Amino acid sequence: MRYYLLTIFFLLNSIIYSQNSGDYPLDIPIILSGTFAELRPNHFHAGIDIKTKGTEGFNVYSIGDGYISRIQITHGGYGKALYIKHDNGQSSVYAHLKKYSPKIEKIVKEIQYSNESYTFRVYPKENEIRISEKELIGYSGNTGRSYGPHLHYELRDDKDRPINPLEYKNYPILDTIPPVVLGLHYKEIPQNSISGSNSSFKNLKITKISNNLFISDTLNTSGLIGFGVNSYDRMNNTWNKMGLSDIKVNLDGEEVFDMNLNSFSYDEWRHINTFIDYASYKNKKIRIQKLYIEDYNPLNMYNRSLGNGVINIKNQDKVYLYTIRLFDFNKNYTEILVPIRWKEKTNYKINGLKSDNIYSINKDSIYNLLFASSSIKLSNNTFYTDKEIEIIERDNILSIDEDSIPVLKVITIKFNTDRYNDSLVNKTYIAKLDKEDKSSFVSNNLKNGKLTANIKLLGNYMIKVDSIQPSINLIDVLDNQWISNRDKLQIKINDKNSGISSYRGTLNDKWILLEYNPMKGILTYDFNDNINNSEPKNILKVNVTDNVGNTKYLEKVFFRKVKK
C-alpha cells in the first residue's frame, strides 16, 4: 500500500513537473486568448497568446537550451521581445514582456543608455549569451501593440518559419468545444477564369442539428460554385474567438479541398487577404474564409493536388452533397452539410463599374496618373488581378476607390503644396480619412513642393496642416515638491493632429530612459536607474515633437532625498 501511494505521488509530481519543463514558457495554468494562424488584420497570427490572469509580472522561462539571437524593443508591435535560437535548430519568441530577467535587463539598459534610445534592435553573436532550458528570461507584460496583459509565444523551424507551438507540447490545453459557425456563403463563378468573379458572396441559410452539425437549405444552382464560411474556434475557460486548424471539404464523399493552418512563411502572411474575402471584411466586418483557391493565391497551406476547390454543378438528375468539416487543433470538428440541386440559370455576367472616373488597371502594367493637384503611381502587380478602380480628385481629397480591394505593392501618391505659404508648408502632412472622416497621419515627406506617401490601402487621402504643439503634463508632481517615496515618474503626452514622433528627457542634464506606452500616452522613468543629483534638488526637462516638427518643452523642479 505504501509503495502504491508513493508511486501515485511520484506520477502526480512528474505530471506537474512536466508542465514546467520547457513545454510552455509560463508556470501558470495555460489558457489561450489567441491561437496559431488565427485571422488578424492583414496577417496570420504567428504564435499563440497565453493569458496571464489579467495581470503582469509572471515569470517567463526559456523552452529549451540555446542562445539569444535578438533583443528588440518597439513602441508598437511586439513591444519588449526576446528571440532565442535553440540547439535543436528551432527558435522561440517571447513578446509583450514587462521587463527582462536581471541578467538580460542589465544588457538592455546598457544598450539603451549607450544609444540614448528606449527602442532598439540588436543581434548578439552566436552563443554570446547562452540560455538554459527553464531559465528565467523575463516577466509577462503588456508592452507594444497589446490590448491586455498576455504572453505572445512563437515557435519557428530551422528555416525561421512559424510553426504551431501546440504540436510540440507534452500535454494538451483543455478544449472540448467544436468550432463555431456564424454563416455559410457561396459565389457563382464565371467559366473563363476563377479569378474573374467580381460578384459578392450570397448567404445560404443553415440550421443547427446538434452541437457540431449543421445542414443548409438546398442550393438550387448550376455551373461553377465557390463556397465560403464565417467561422471561429472556442476553447474551455475562455470566451476569446480563435482560429481554425484545418478545413476539409468533400463532394459526394470525394475530398475536393484541404487547408492546413499549422505552418506558413513570413513571405505568405499578408496573403491572408487571398484566403478571406477582403471586401466582406472591410465593408461588413465579417471574415468569409474561402473554400476554394483563386488563380493568384500563393499560399502553401493547401493540398493543391485536390484541385482548386471550385465545384461544377452540371448533372440535372442528382442531388449533390457538399460536406464541410472545420477542425480545431484538438480535432474537435463542426460539420456542415449542403445539398445542391441542379437548376438552369441565366448566363453569369460581370457588372462593370459605370463612371467617367473609372480606370482599367492591367496588373502587369505601370501607371502614372496625373490630376490637378495630385498624382498616383502604380507599379506592376500592385493588385492581384486586373481591376477597374474609381479615382476622383475633389475638394482637395484624392479618392482612390474604397478600401475593399487588397493591395499587393505600395502605391505612391503625391500632393502639390503650391497653395500653402512658407509659414504653413512645413506643417503640412498627408492624412488618410476613414468613413467617419476622422484622419490619421500617413506621411510628411516634403520635397520640391510636393508631399509624397507610399500607401498600402485604398481610400481617401488629403493634405492637412498641424501648427499646434503637443501637450506634456507631469502626473501628480507639483513644482518644488518632495517625492522621496516615489519609485517612478510618469508623464502624460498627447498630440491630437499629426501624432507623436519623438521625445527626449534629461534629469540634471543627463539623458534618462523614458519608457513610452503609446496605448496610454504615458512616459515612465524608473528612479532605480540612479540618474540622481548629489543634491536634493532635481531638474527634469522633457521635450516632445510631433510628426511635422512642432515641439513642446517641459521643465520641472522636484526634490528627493539623496541616497548614500
Domain final residue pick, 342, 367, 399: 342
Q: Residue 33 is part of which domain span?
A: 23-168
Query: What torsion, rounded to 10 degrees, do the Cα atoms 158, 163, 169, 173 define?
Result: 170
The three cell numbers of residue 146 are: 497589446
List, for residues 89-134, the tens digit of each pLDDT value: 999 999 999 999 999 999 999 999 999 999 999 999 999 999 999 9
Give just the sign of the alpha carbon dihedral 302, 405, 444, 495: negative
Question: Has residue 12 been placed in a domain?
Answer: no
Q: What are phi and psi of 385, to 5 degrees?
A: -140, 175
Strand 80-86 and strand 66-73: pairing? antiparallel
Query: Per-residue pLDDT averaged across 434-461, rounded?
Result: 94
The pLDDT value given to residue 75:
94
List, for residues 204-231, the tens digit of each pLDDT value: 999 999 999 999 999 999 999 999 999 9
Report the chain's mean pLDDT, rounded to a whole number. Answer: 91
- pTM recorded for the entire structure: 0.90
SS3 6: helix
Q: Are both 281 and 319 inside the same structural domain?
A: yes
The three cell numbers of residue 315 are: 448533372
Question: Has residue 8 been placed in a domain?
Answer: no
Question: Has residue 68 been placed in a domain?
Answer: yes
> Cα–Cα distance between 142 and 420 in angstroms, integer?
42
Q: Are both 291 and 366 inside the same structural domain?
A: no
> Cα–Cα distance between 257 and 292 in angstroms, integer?
7
> Cα–Cα distance between 428 and 447 in angstroms, integer?
12
Question: Has residue 265 been placed in a domain?
Answer: yes
SS3 398: strand
Question: Has residue 105 been placed in a domain?
Answer: yes
The pLDDT value given to residue 169:
85
Q: Are both 491 and 550 inside the same structural domain?
A: yes
SS3 18: helix
Q: Are both 437 and 291 inside the same structural domain?
A: no
The pLDDT value given to residue 422:
86
Q: Are both 150 and 231 inside the same structural domain?
A: no
Asked whether residue 17 carries a pLDDT value surpassing 60, the answer given is: no
Q: Tell me, what DSSP letter sits at residue 527? A: G
Please spell the DSSP secondary structure of 227-262, one letter per residue. Answer: EEEEEEB--TT----B--SEEEEEETTEEEEEEE-S
Question: Has residue 88 been placed in a domain?
Answer: yes
The pLDDT value given to residue 352:
54
The three cell numbers of residue 306 are: 485536390
Share of the chain above pLDDT 90, in %: 85
Total count of domains within the chain? 4
The pLDDT value given to residue 436:
85
Q: Are both 526 and 447 inside the same structural domain?
A: no
List, for residues 490-536, the tens digit of each pLDDT value: 999 999 999 999 999 999 999 999 999 998 999 999 998 877 777 89
Q: Are both 500 and 460 inside the same structural domain?
A: no
Q: 432 and 453 in contact (C-beta within 8 Å)?
A: no
Residue 465: HSE in the Cβ half-sphere, 13 Å Cα cutoff: 11
Asked whether residue 80 carries a pLDDT value surpassing 90, the answer given is: yes
Question: Has residue 16 been placed in a domain?
Answer: no
Asked whether residue 4 carries a pLDDT value surpassing 70, the answer given is: no
524: nearest Cα among 513, 534, 536: 513
The pLDDT value given to residue 197:
58
Q: 532 vs 426, which has greater pLDDT? A: 426
Q: What are phi and psi of 10, to 5 degrees?
A: -70, -35
Q: Are both 316 and 406 inside the same structural domain?
A: no
C-alpha pair distances (Å), 248 with each of 257, 258, 262, 326, 330: 6, 5, 14, 7, 15
Q: Which residues pair with 538 in a beta bridge?
A: 558
Q: Are both 313 and 212 inside the same structural domain?
A: yes
pLDDT band at residue 18 using 50, 70 and 90 as cut-offs: very low
Domain final residue pick, 130, 145, 168: 168
The pLDDT value given to residue 530:
77
The pLDDT value given to residue 104:
98
| 41 burial via Cβ count (<10 Å: 0-12, 13-18, 19+) | exposed
List, for residues 28-74, the tens digit of each pLDDT value: 999 999 999 999 999 999 999 999 999 999 999 999 999 999 999 99
pLDDT band at residue 9 using 50, 70 and 90 as cut-offs: very low
CB atoms within 10 A of CB 368: 9
Question: Has residue 295 been placed in a domain?
Answer: yes
Q: Are both 329 and 475 inside the same structural domain?
A: no
The pLDDT value given to residue 8:
36
Q: Domain containing 511 — which CATH number?
A: 2.60.40.1220
Residues 123-134, buried b or exposed e (16+ Cβ, 10 A)? Answer: eeeeeebebeeb
Domain final residue pick, 284, 308, 342: 342
Asked whether residue 455 carries a pLDDT value surpassing 60, the answer given is: yes
Phi-psi region of 111 (alpha: psi -120 to 50; beta: other; left: phi over 0): alpha
Q: Are both 308 and 436 inside the same structural domain?
A: no
Q: What are phi and psi of 556, to 5 degrees?
A: -140, 140
72: nearest Cα among 64, 84, 80: 80
The pLDDT value given to residue 270:
86
Q: 269 and 46 in contact (C-beta within 8 Å)?
A: yes
The three cell numbers of residue 123 are: 543581434
Q: Are both 236 and 280 inside the same structural domain?
A: yes
> Cα–Cα distance between 214 and 205 in angstroms, integer?
10
